[in-house]
Structure 1
Amino acid sequence: MTRFTMTCAAAGALTLAACVPTPELSVDDIDLARYASAMAQVGCIDFDGITHAEIRDITGWKDSKLDKVEEEAIAQLQAIEQPGGGIRSTVGACA
């Protein structure tokens, strides 16, 4: 019976850990400011893989983090999706 209890406890802990966002993928105001600054450095529009790579290099983020920050910037109206593709920053030097 003890073995079963320990197995259930371990499974529960893993399930709970999966629900907590990793710090790397959480987005805060500092991330959004860093993103706005990087967007200004590349001309305010992230429209292709080259620009995306430049923003990634400037910020030091992995693609998953950059994608999460872009999603949050769009949600907070700090960036908009372009009709022809890409994302344009609407804050800071890009306003």
Structure 2
Amino acid sequence: MILVTGATGNVGRGLVRLLTTQGVRVRAGTRNPDAVLPPGVEASSSLDGVNSLFLNPRAVGKSVGYLVAQACAVGVRRIVALSAINVDDDLSAPALS
């Protein structure tokens, strides 16, 4: 199972859709409790049963180090981190589109 952080954002939404059409089990990490997700996708940031993590630093903010440490501790084998020119922008400012 893959945990996608920022699953309802500009990048994450498309990634979740692509993965689910390929039959991949996805867990959606989102701050939006009312998010509409593809069938079979659960909204949760739990690492239980996760073997891969898509890490959007803007979505997890200052908890990025904690999340990576926890992922490693529970046996997550792959972490893919999104990088962007605005990665060091103030986290309280909205991301530019």
TM above 0.5, yes or no, is: no
**Band the TM-score falls in, shorter-chain normalisation:** under 0.3
Query: TM-score when scaled to structure 1?
Result: 0.25
Higher helix share: 1
Higher strand share: 2
> Is the radius of gyration larger for structure 1 or structure 2?
1
